[in-house]
Homo-oligomer: A and B are copies of this chain.
Amino acid sequence: MEMITVTLGERSYPITIAAGLFNDPASFWPLTRGDNAMLVTNDRLAPLYLDSLSGRLRQAGVKVDRVVLPDGEQNKSLTVLDQVFTALLAKPHGRDTTIIALGGGVIGDLAGFAAASYQRGVRFIQVPTTLLSQVDSSVGGKTAVNHPLGKNMIGAFYQPASVVIDLDCLNTLPRRELSSGLAEVIKYGIILDAVFFAWLEDNLDALLALEPRALAYCIRRCCELKADVVAADEREQGQRALLNLGHTYGHAIETHMGYGNWLHGEAVAAGMVMAVRAARRLGQFSDADAERVSALLLRAGLPVSGPAEMAAEDYLPHMMRDKKVIAGQLRLVLPVTLGNAEVHAGVADDMVVASIKDCQA
C-alpha cells in the first residue's frame, strides 16, 4: 500500500493507493458507523461496483444512499448536477452527510462541486476509478461542471476528506481511457521531473500491462508532484498554472469537437505537442526532447496532432476563453527544458496558429 498526505493546513488529507481497497470499509476513512453517505457514480460503473461497495459500507454501519448519473463529459452539466441535489434533498440528507464520488474525472468534478455547494459544503470522499482521475483529480481540489460555452467554467476549489485509489478498478477500464490517463502522467514528467520522464520511457510497457507495482509507483509519484505544486499555490495564482501544459489547446479541441468525442487526455496529448512546437518556435526546448515527448505519447497510444476536421484558426476563439487569459491576453504554459516549464505571457496569435499548423496531420 502506498500512502501520501496532501498538506494544506487544516484541510490536509490522505491518499491511499493499493489493490483490493474496496473490500475493506476501513479504507473509506473518515466514514464511521452511524454516518450518512450519498454514493454518486455513473451508469457504466454502477453494475460493476455499486452493490458490493454500498453493501460493505452498510455492513460497517454507514447509511448509504446512491445516485447513478449518465456517463460522459457531456453530462458534466448544471442539469445533471441538479439531479444530485434532488437525490440529496429527497431523503433528505443534512449538512452532516458525506458525498462519495465513485468514478472518473466527470463524476469526481461533478460530485465534488455538489459537495462544495450542497448546503454550502458537506464532507467529500474521492474514489477515482480511472488512471486520469487518479493522477489528476486526487490532488488539487478543483471541482467544476461545464457550460456550453466553455469547459470547467462553473466550480469551486474544494478539498476532499480523503482519496481512495483501488488499483483493481483499472482492470475494467477501457484501453482508450488508460491511454488518456497516461497523457497526464507524461505531462508531470515534462513539466516537473525529467527523471520520472525517463522512468516512464523505461516502464511504459509495464504500465500498459497494468503491472501493479509500476502502477502504484506511477500514481504515487504523480500525486506527490502535484501535491507539492498545489501546497505552494492552492488557488492557482502562479506555479499551479504549469499543470495546464497542453490544456489551453486541448480544451479548444474538446469544446470544438463536442464534449466526449475526444477524450481529455487525447486532447491534452495533442495540445502538449502543440505547446512543444510553440516552445521550439521561441527557441526553447530541444528537437531531441521534442522527439522523446512525441515518441512516448505515441507508445502510450495517444495522438500527436489535432483533429483533421479542425482548422488552426478554429482554436483561437476557444483559447481566448481560457481561465489564464488576463486583460484579453492569452498566456500559455510552455516547456523550457525536459522537467521545466513556464507560463508565457504575450504569445502572438499568429505564433499560436503556426504552432498548431506544425502539428496538423
Contact = CB atoms under 8 A, between A and B. Distances in A.
Interface of A: 34, 78, 81-82, 85-86, 89-90, 92, 94-96, 113, 116-121, 142, 144, 147, 149-150, 153-157, 235, 320-321, 323-328
Contacts of A82: 78, 147
Contacts of A113: 117
A321 B147 contact: no
Contacts of A144: 120
Given A94-B326, A96-B326, A323-B94, A119 B153 contact: yes
30 contacts: A78-B81, A82-B147, A85-B147, A85-B154, A86-B147, A86-B149, A89-B149, A89-B150, A89-B321, A90-B149, A92-B149, A92-B150, A92-B320, A94-B323, A94-B325, A94-B328, A95-B323, A95-B324, A95-B325, A116-B156, A118-B153, A118-B154, A119-B155, A119-B323, A120-B142, A120-B144, A120-B155, A121-B157, A121-B235, A156-B156
Contact of A154 (B96, B117, B149, B153): B117
Contacts of A89: 147, 149-150, 153, 321
A314 to B, nearest CB: 16
Contacts of A85: 147, 153-154
**Interface core residue of A92, A150, A328 (most chain B CB under 10 Å):** A92
A274 B101 CA distance: 40
Nearest to A144: B120
A150 B116 CA distance: 17
A98 to B, nearest CB: 13
Contacts of A323: 94-95, 119-120
Nearest to A329: B94
A254 to B, nearest CB: 15
A110 to B, nearest CB: 13
Given A86-B149, A149-B86, A155 B94 contact: no
A117 B146 CA distance: 12
A321 B92 contact: yes
Given A89-B150, A92-B320, A94-B325, 7 more contacts: A78-B81, A85-B154, A92-B321, A113-B117, A116-B156, A117-B156, A120-B144
